[in-house]
């Protein structure tokens, strides 16, 4: 019977490889799911004398979109975010990540501002505290301030409908 | 009795002293005209610790590079964070905890020893054990086996007999 | 026109591969000599057309034909001619064509050097290789056509990745593929034996030279890859356990186990089933490697741009070829006769132990490489498995195998006693232990792993000397005459083992006693490392054919005497804008001084510079070189050449004994 062992081992491996073709080895799941969103206090891009903090959003379901003016993929999801903002859906906070050239204000003025608030994370420290590796990355945070979902990459209308909307509804927005 | 000629001796001594000076080539420039380079890092000891730790950490935005060698911006940011943590007195374990809290176990090139990785770490020992067992069993069998010459004709004949037996 | 000709040639090659596979295999099944005889010309024809296709692609690159998509994506008009040529294999499609070319080359080689084989065996071997060619040629034509046109043609290309614009790119892929793909011959021999049911000692004798040559090429290919990475990547590392590196290393480990196992099967008729399984495994690992690198299943610096469709095709092909071979194995396994008996410390026993350890090591590398995939596929999260794991696991596993290298060659076949071996080697053991303890005292300090390495290296080297001493005790004639009459198989084995010793010593040194410094250097400042003095004389602007560079000048002196002037560069490539560090590497006897430019600090020309001292790094390449030469020597042993010569005397239509 041990003559069949090599074949069996091989077939098991093939099974894993087949599954592997549908996975992305670079997509890293977030360890924050189910944990409290890390606290921070950052000045706003539109009004540096004011600040934003996740505690400000306690009591409602909200979305944090990590973006940057130099990020090309972020432009892709911008129209969708504008739509959501105009329809009065869940508030979107746009964490402005590592915008050294400080172009955020002008860009938003030109293309429109879908964000409830735009805190400025110049050196990226808050991003690191959230496990951000690039832009855009988007988090759903619930009424108690706990992170419930993270999406890496631009949000397409499809992704919004199939991933975000159900989750937001579930959290009782 | 042989008296050493004193003059010759002194001459020999002086010549002897000058040999090293003659043998040494003149340096390209007098050493005090050149400045000694300073280490790039502010604190070379912390830096050495940082590099050693970062070699076992993954650059999260690269295809497969360590945090020590990567030139990516996020890698530089993370190295900066680690440097600050080390300066603040955190030890290696605390720095690793800081990173895995934020990025998960994916950031470690040395997988942690947890139930889900038991097979990974114990596998090689297991393989060796199974192989060793197979070696032992094979040898026990072979020692008992009678010597058959590796002669093609005889082997072929034996094969035929086996065939017929089936 | 030329690209279309190339495309057409691939189609013809596929048709010839179909003929090469189907007719001879059927002919061998039926005992039909005419059909079997189709194998050789078909293989040679296939090689001709694949070579033609390759030439067409190379031509397109050389003349900068940017209407070919592959050329536009991977080349650039300012690229030096030699790199325009190597760009032929610088992409997934192009390297696949190289794969197919080398497979066709091996098939043609077998068709030429197989006259001494029974006709049905030769037909089956060439036929099986034809089956593999069919798979890869179809894959090429259906999913990865290098001759696809880009219309309208691009004005210029996207440029070649700067890391590939190096010597290493010229020789590493071809040599690696010669080895990697060359295991297909051993695979085909194994399949042919399984199909025919004829598992005799002759099979081992026929496969052995082919396997050893492929192994030697693979050793060379891996060494070149490592050497290239060392020089190009700018941080002095030479092995990262990256999935692609592992993908070439695993077939090497299996191949090493195979050549040792074949020795037992050839000499003593033992381990047949195991040797066949190893032959299947070695090439299966090559195929697996091809899959891993091109499917996107694992993340690697070296991976080609990925596409799940391609991955699925290769996986399907893998499943059929490997799965089929293992079914064949399972079917025939009971029929493989066990060989003769042997004792605990006989050469057979020690070689079996060698195999056990090598396969355990292979398992460890495979486990580490695939574990992230296993966990992800089962939804258990994502982890990374990198150098710390592999180093922790591989080195302790290999140490006993290295120790056995000192005993195995000295043990007699069938029966040997441990006390006897101990007596013969006790002086070597003593010397090796002494070196392990004393050598680190002359270096920077005691490192246990380094000492282990020194012990093993000295042990193996002394065992090689002991083997020569024993052989030369008998026989007549002068020393030179006696050495000349020693069989090449013996020379090859000793040389390869000696190479291993040299390599292990080099690794022990460089892994434990390397030093480095990262310094800010103003113009005319100096830094010291490992007894060398480095004086920075500033940078100059320097333009290459397709890049602009800041070229540093660093004078290296020892004991006040200038020994060298190094010119590391920081380059920016014109087409892609990509930057790259071109380190300056200077050998000092067996060690290296390695200097890499960092960043420019200010307008006065100050730069950060990284200085490395790599003791005995060149022993890695030297050791590998000895292993390669040893392999080729062993494969050219006269008993294989006699077989070739004799085959010309035997009429060809003998031994068509059917299935």
> Strands C579-582 and A92-97, how do they pair?
unpaired
Q: For residues C103 and C148, state if they share a domain.
A: yes
Q: Which residues of chain C have pLDDT under 70?
A: 305-306, 337-339, 642-659
Residue C648: per-residue pLDDT: 54
| The three-state (H, E, C) secondary structure of C552-571, written as one string | EEEEEEECCEEEEEECCEEE
Please tell me the distance from the alpha carbon of residue B114 to that of residue B135, in angstroms, as a whole number: 31
CA dist C319 and C322 (Å) reads 6
Question: Among B116, B121, B134, whose Cβ lies nearest the Cβ of C375?
Answer: B116
Partner-chain residue, chosen from A28, A123, A134, that has the shortest CB–CB distance to B103 = A28
> Cβ distance C590 to C503 under 8 Å?
no
Token pair, residue C61, equals 């690159």
CB C107 within 8 A of CB C20: yes
- Are both C49 and C154 inside the same structural domain? yes
Is C350 inside any structural domain? no
Say if CB C188 and CB C101 are below 8 A apart.
Answer: no
From C239, C242, C314, C240, select the one nearest C284 (Cα to Cα).
Answer: C314
Could you say which of C513, C546, C567 is where a domain stops? C513
> Rounded to two decimals, what is the model's pTM?
0.90
Residues C538 and C482 in one domain: no
Tokens of C510: 């460089």
What Å distances lie between residue C100 and C51, C97, C325, C583, CA to CA?
A: 9, 5, 20, 34
In the predicted model, residues of chain A with pLDDT beneath 50 are: none
- C216: which 2 tokens? 């030697």
Q: Is residue C443 part of a domain?
A: yes
Give me the pLDDT at residue B28, please.
44
Question: B64: which chain C residues are within 8 Å (Cβ-Cβ)?
Answer: 240, 242-243, 299-301
pLDDT score, position A50: 93
List of residues 6+ apart from C373 with CB closer than 8 A: A16, A17, A20, A23, A25, C297, C298
Other Cβ atoms less than 10 A from the Cβ of A24: the count is: 14
> Which chain C residues are Cβ-neighbours of A23 within 8 angstroms?
297, 373, 376-377
Tokens encoding B47: 């830096």
Domain identity same for C443 and C572: no
What per-residue confidence (pLDDT) applies to B21?
42
Question: In whole angstroms, what is the distance from residue B103 CA to residue A127 CA?
Answer: 11
Do residues C585 and C440 share a domain?
no
Q: Give the Cα separation of C183 and C259 in Å (integer).
A: 11
Q: Note whether residue C189 is domain-resident.
A: no
Q: Is residue C197 part of a domain?
A: no
- Chain C residues with CB inside 8 Å of B131's CB? 356-357, 359-360
Q: Does C81 share its domain with C42?
A: yes
- Note whether A17 contacts C315, CB cutoff 8 Å: yes
Kindly report the nearest CA distance between residue C327 and chain A, in angstroms: 7
**Do the Cβ atoms of A21 and C327 come within 8 Å?**
no
CA nearest neighbour of C319 among C295, C290, C284: C284
Rounded average pLDDT over B95-108? 95
Same domain, C438 and C521: no
Asked whether A147 and A34 are in contact (CB, 8 A), the reply is yes
Asked if C561 lies within 8 A of B25 by C-beta distance, the reply is yes
Q: C506 and C577: one domain?
A: no
Does domain B44-107 bear CATH number 3.40.50.2300?
no
End of a domain among C513, C537, C555?
A: C513
Residue of C359, C385, C560 with shortest CB distance to B27: C560
Residue B152 has pLDDT above 90, yes or no: no
Mark whether C461 and C594 lie in a shared domain. no
Contact between C297 and A20 using a beta-carbon 8 Å cutoff = yes
Interface partners of chain A (CB pairs < 8 Å, 3 or more) are: B, C
Q: Which domain holds residue C442?
A: 417-513
Judged by CB atoms closer than 8 Å, whether chains meet at A129 and B104 is answered as no
Backbone φ and ψ of C393, nearest 5°? -95, -40
Residue C297: predicted pLDDT: 85
- For Cα atoms C359, C365, C366, give the angle at the middle one, nearest 5 degrees: 85
Select from B33, B51, B64 the residue whose CB has the most chain C CBs within 10 Å, as the one to mutate to test that interface.
Answer: B64
Cα A133 to chain centroid distance, Å, stands at 11
* Chain B residues whose beta carbon lies within 8 Å of the beta carbon of residue A29: 104
Sort out which chain C residues have CB atoms less than 8 A from A21's CB and list them. 295-297, 308, 311-312, 315
Do residues C506 and C601 both lie within one domain? no
Number of domains in chain C: 3
| Pairwise CB contact (< 8 Å): B102 & A28 | no
Does any domain span residue C243? no
C142, part of any domain: yes
Where is the domain boundary, C478, C513, C548? C513
pLDDT of residue C299: 80
What pLDDT score was predicted for residue C577?
83
Q: What does the pLDDT read at residue C420?
A: 82
* Per-residue pLDDT at B6 exceeds 90: no
For the segment B27-37, the average pLDDT, to the nearest whole number, is 60
ipTM comes to: 0.90
Helix/strand/coil (H/E/C) assignment for every residue in C584-610: EEEEECCEEEEEEEEEECCCCCCEEEE
- Interchain pair A30, B104: CB under 8 A: yes
Q: What are the pLDDT digits (tens) for C340-359?
A: 777 888 888 999 999 999 99
Nearest to C409 by CA among C486, C450, C465, C456: C465
Can you give the pLDDT at residue C338? 66
Q: Do residues C627 and C492 lie in contact, with contact meaning Cβ atoms separated by under 8 Å?
A: no
Decide if A12 touches C, using CB distance below 8 A: no
Question: A-chain residues within 8 Å CB-CB of C277?
Answer: 6
pLDDT classification of B166: cutoffs 50, 70, 90: very low
First to last CA, chain A: 59
Supply the pLDDT for residue B153.
Answer: 58
pLDDT at C504: 97
pLDDT in tens, C515-528: 989 899 999 999 99
Residue of B73, B102, B133, B137 to mutate, interface with A, max A Cβ within 10 Å = B102
**Do C475 and C539 lie in a common domain?**
no
Residues C438 and C553 in one domain: no
Q: Are C249 and C365 in contact (CB under 8 A)?
A: yes
Among residues C581, C597, C586, C583, the alpha carbon closest in space to that of B40 is found at C597
> Which is nearest to C252 in space by CA: C633, C634, C616, C624?
C624
- What structural domains does chain A harbor? 33-170 (3.40.30.10)
Judging contacts by C-beta atoms under 8 Å, the chain C residues touching residue B162 are: 335, 337
Q: β-strands C525-529, C532-543: how paired?
A: antiparallel
Instruction: With respect to residue C299, please indicate whether it lies within any of the assigned structural domains.
Output: no
Domain presence at residue C391: no
Average pLDDT estimate for B125-154: 78
């Amino acid at each position: 019977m041990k003559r069949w062992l090599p074949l069996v081992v091989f077939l098991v491996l093939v099974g894993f490889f087949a599954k592997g073709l549908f996975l992305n080895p670079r997509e890293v799941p977030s360890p924050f799911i189910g944990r409290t969103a890390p606290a921070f206090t950052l000045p706003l891009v539109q009004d540096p004398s004011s600040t934003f903090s996740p505690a400000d959003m306690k009591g409602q379901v909200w979305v944090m979109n990590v973006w940057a003016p130099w990020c090309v993929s972020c432009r892709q999801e911008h129209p969708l975010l504008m739509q959501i903002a105009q329809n009065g859906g869940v508030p979107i906070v746009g964490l402005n990540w590592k915008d050294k050239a400080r172009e955020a204000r002008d860009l938003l003025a030109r293309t429109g501002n879908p964000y409830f608030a735009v805190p400025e994370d110049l050196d990226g420290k808050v991003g690191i505290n959230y496990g951000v590796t690039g832009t855009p990355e988007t988090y759903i945070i619930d009424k108690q301030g706990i992170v419930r979902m993270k999406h890496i990459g631009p949000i397409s209308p499809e992704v919004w409908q199939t991933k975000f909307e159900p989750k937001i509804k579930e959290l009782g927005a | 009795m042989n008296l050493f000629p004193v003059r010759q001796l002194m001459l020999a001594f002086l010549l002897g002293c000058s040999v090293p000076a003659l043998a040494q080539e003149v340096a390209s420039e007098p050493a005090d005209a050149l400045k000694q380079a300073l280490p790039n890092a502010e604190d070379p000891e912390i830096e050495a610790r940082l590099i050693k730790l970062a070699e076992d950490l993954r650059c999260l935005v690269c295809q497969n590079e360590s945090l020590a060698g990567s030139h990516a911006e996020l890698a530089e940011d993370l190295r900066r964070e680690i440097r600050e943590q080390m300066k603040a007195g955190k030890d290696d374990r605390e720095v690793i905890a800081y990173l895995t809290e934020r990025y998960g176990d994916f950031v470690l090139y040395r997988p942690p020893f947890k139930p889900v990785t038991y097979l990974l770490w114990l596998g090689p020992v297991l393989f060796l054990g199974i192989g060793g067992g197979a070696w032992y069993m094979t040898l026990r069998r072979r020692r008992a086996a009678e010597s058959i010459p590796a002669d093609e004709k005889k082997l072929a004949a034996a094969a035929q007999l086996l065939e017929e037996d089936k | 026109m030329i690209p279309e000709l190339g495309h057409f040639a691939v189609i013809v090659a596929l048709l010839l591969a179909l003929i090469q596979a189907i007719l001879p295999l059927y002919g061998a099944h039926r005992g039909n000599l005419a059909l079997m005889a189709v194998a050789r010309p078909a293989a040679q024809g296939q090689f001709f057309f694949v070579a033609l296709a390759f030439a067409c692609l190379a031509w397109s690159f050389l003349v900068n034909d940017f209407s070919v998509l592959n050329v536009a994506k991977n080349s650039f008009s300012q690229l030096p001619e030699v790199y325009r040529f190597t760009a032929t294999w610088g992409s997934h499609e192009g390297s696949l064509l190289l794969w197919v070319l080398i497979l066709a080359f091996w098939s043609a080689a077998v068709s030429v050097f197989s006259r001494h084989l029974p006709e049905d065996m030769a037909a089956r071997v060439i036929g099986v290789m034809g089956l593999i060619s069919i798979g890869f040629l179809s894959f090429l034509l259906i999913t990865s056509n290098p001759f696809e046109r880009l219309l309208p043609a691009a004005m210029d290309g996207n440029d070649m990745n700067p890391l590939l614009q190096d010597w290493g790119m010229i020789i590493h892929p071809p040599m690696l593929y010669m080895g990697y793909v060359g295991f297909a011959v051993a695979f085909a021999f194994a399949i042919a034996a399984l199909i025919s049911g004829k598992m005799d000692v002759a099979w081992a004798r026929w496969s052995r030279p082919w396997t050893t040559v492929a192994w030697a090429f693979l050793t060379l290919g891996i060494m070149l890859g490592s050497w290239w990475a060392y020089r190009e990547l700018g941080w002095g590392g030479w092995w990262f356990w990256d999935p692609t590196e592992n993908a070439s290393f695993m077939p090497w480990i299996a191949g090493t186990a195979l050549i040792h196992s074949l020795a037992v099967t050839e000499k003593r008729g033992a381990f047949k089933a195991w040797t066949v399984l190893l032959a299947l495994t070695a090439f299966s690992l090559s195929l697996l490697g091809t899959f891993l690198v091109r499917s996107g299943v694992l993340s690697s610096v070296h991976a080609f741009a990925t596409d799940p469709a391609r991955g699925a095709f290769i996986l399907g092909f893998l499943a059929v070829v490997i799965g089929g071979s293992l079914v064949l194995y399972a079917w025939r396994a009971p029929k493989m006769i066990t060989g003769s008996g042997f004792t605990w410390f006989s050469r057979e026993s020690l070689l079996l132990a060698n195999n056990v350890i090598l396969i355990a090591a292979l398992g460890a590398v495979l486990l580490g490489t695939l574990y992230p995939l296993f966990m992800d596929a089962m939804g258990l999260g994502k982890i990374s498995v990198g150098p710390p794991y592999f180093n922790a696991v591989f080195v302790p596993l290999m140490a006993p195998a290295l120790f056995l290298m000192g005993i195995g060659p000295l043990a007699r076949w069938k029966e040997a006693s441990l006390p006897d071996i101990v007596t013969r080697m006790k002086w070597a053991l003593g010397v090796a232990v002494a070196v392990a303890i004393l050598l680190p005292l002359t270096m920077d300090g005691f490192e246990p792993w380094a000492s282990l390495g020194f012990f093993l290296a000295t042990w193996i080297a002394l065992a090689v000397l002991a083997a020569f001493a024993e052989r030369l005790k008998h026989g007549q004639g002068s020393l030179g005459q006696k050495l000349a009459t020693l069989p090449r198989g013996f020379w090859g084995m000793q040389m390869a083992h000696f190479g291993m010793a040299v390599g292990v010593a080099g690794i022990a040194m460089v892994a434990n006693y390397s030093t480095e410094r990262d310094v800010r250097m103003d113009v005319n400042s100096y830094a010291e490392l490992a007894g060398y003095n480095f004086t920075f004389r500033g940078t100059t602007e320097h333009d290459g054919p397709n890049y602009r560079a800041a070229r540093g000048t660093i004078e290296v002196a020892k004991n006040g005497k200038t020994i060298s002037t190094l010119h590391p560069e920081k380059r920016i490539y014109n087409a892609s804008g990509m930057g790259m560090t071109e380190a300056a590497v200077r050998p000092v006897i067996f060690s290296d001084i390695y200097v890499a430019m960092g960043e420019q600090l200010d307008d006065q020309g100050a730069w950060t510079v990284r200085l490395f001292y790599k003791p005995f790094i060149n022993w890695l390449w030297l050791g590998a070189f000895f292993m390669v030469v040893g392999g080729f020597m062993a494969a050219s042993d006269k008993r294989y050449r006699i077989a070739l010569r004799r085959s010309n005397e035997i009429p060809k239509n003998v031994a068509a004994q059917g299935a």
